[in-house]
Amino acid sequence: MRGSLPLFRFRGIRVLVHWSFLLLPAYIAFTGFSEGTTWPKILVDVGLVMIVFACVVLHEFGHALTAQRFGVGTRDITLLPIGGVASLERMPEDPKQEFWITIAGPLVNLAIAGLAFALLAVSGISILFTDIFDDITSWHSVLAFLFATNIGLFLFNLLPAFPMDGGRILRSLLSLRLSRDRATRIATGVGKVMAVCFVAYGLLNGAPFLAMIGVFIFLSAGSEAKVVRQRSQLRSLLVSGAMRKDPIHLGTNASVQDAWNAMTMVDHRVVLARGPEGYAGVVLREDLRAALAQGYGTGPIASYVKPVPGVRPEEAALPLYQRMVAEGLRALPVIESGGIIATIELRDLENALGPLAPSV
């Protein structure tokens, strides 16, 4: 996220703070000063906010570390005025994995609340039934604040306002019986209704940050619903819809210059090489360009042949794209009825899949 400063790194996950986060303590200081609050009390209020956000960071690490257990990396955790965001590389489409990754965050808050309550129980819990904000200078008051704050975070995050945790939990449970696309539509619909309620309540009751959260939820819900819908549609795209017919066939003894000339006459970036026993592999345009730059134009293309497997035209394009990216494959032959009928290039899959392709 642009405009973010690094704080620290843990288990390979960077924790960042966005510049807009500074608006929160500034707002607290300005409000306190306007109301005639003393500076020591203002500093205490800012300190309480920092405690809350420390709990938010732990909450986000609950998501991130659980995601690691399922093989999902986290790029970073960013603190915003309205909370924290863990940027997972992807959200698993297995509803059970999504459930456990999502519920892990609120469970961290519940664990912190339980620990604070246990420490209070040792010395008495009467402070829980008083105004804990009157005297926050004692350890008992800090523990009571931790207990109340984390119970609040636990319950608030369980609200089914997608893409908040409660909304994702709702989607994961719906996905056990419904398609992911339909489950997302239902969860985002519920989330948008709750977002409007947040905005209305925040504006009518002088809670600007709640209104900001509502706006964030509304926009994020619509954006993620669109991505899921696009991915659902992309699953129906086949290799036949992105392949290039009439591929270039040359023998492995053909020169680099001849292969380059044949390739540049048409919009192809790959040559299919044939050896004595038939198909030998592919020769990529970038390899030919590098060979020509080094003065090897008269040499045979045999030295640049990459033996790669073929694919069928009825294969799904999205999983193939994921495999080609993971294995570093630039082009593959398309085989039907025992013969090569076309080639499929990584760039063509990227064009067919659109803006979603680079994020896979």
Find, among 278, 286, 269, 277, the residue nearest to 332 by Cα. Answer: 269
Q: Report the alpha-carbon distance of residue 318 to residue 231 in Å, rounded.
A: 9
**pLDDT tens sequence across 319-357:** 898 889 889 999 999 999 889 999 999 988 888 776 554
Scan for tokens 């591929």, then name that residue: 247
Chain centroid, CA 35 distance in Å: 42
Cβ 78 vs Cβ 61: under 8 Å: no
Q: What residue ranges do the domains of the chain occupy? A: 4-234, 239-359
> How many Cβ atoms are within 10 Å of 360's Cβ, its own excluded?
16
Instruction: Note the pLDDT of residue 360.
Output: 34
Q: Looking at residue 89, what DSSP letter applies?
A: S
- SS3 at position 9: strand
Q: Is the pLDDT of residue 201 over 50?
A: yes
Q: Does pLDDT of 169 surpass 60?
A: yes
Closest Cα partner for 272 from 343, 349, 346? 343
Which phi-psi region, left, alpha or beta, contains residue 250 (left: φ > 0; alpha: ψ -120 to 50)?
beta
pLDDT given for residue 292 in this prediction: 94
**What is d(CA 219, CA 295) in angstroms, rounded to the nearest whole number?**
55
Asked if 316 contacts 351 with a C-beta cutoff of 8 angstroms, the reply is no
User: Which pTM was predicted?
Assistant: 0.67
Do 215 and 260 touch, CB atoms closer than 8 A?
Answer: no
CA of residue 8 relative to chain centroid, distance: 20
Tell me the C-alpha distance between 32 and 57, whole Å. Answer: 26
How do residues 81-112 score in pLDDT, each as one tens digit? Answer: 888 999 998 888 899 999 999 999 999 999 99
Q: CA quadruple 311, 316, 321, 327: dihedral positive or negative?
A: negative
CA atoms 129, 133, 134, 136: torsion sign: positive
What pLDDT score was predicted for residue 174? Answer: 96
**Domain 239-359 class?**
alpha beta
Q: Residue 180 has what pLDDT? A: 86
The C-alpha atoms of residue 103 and residue 158 are separated, in whole angstroms, by 9
Spatial contact of 311 and 282, defined as CB atoms under 8 Å apart: no
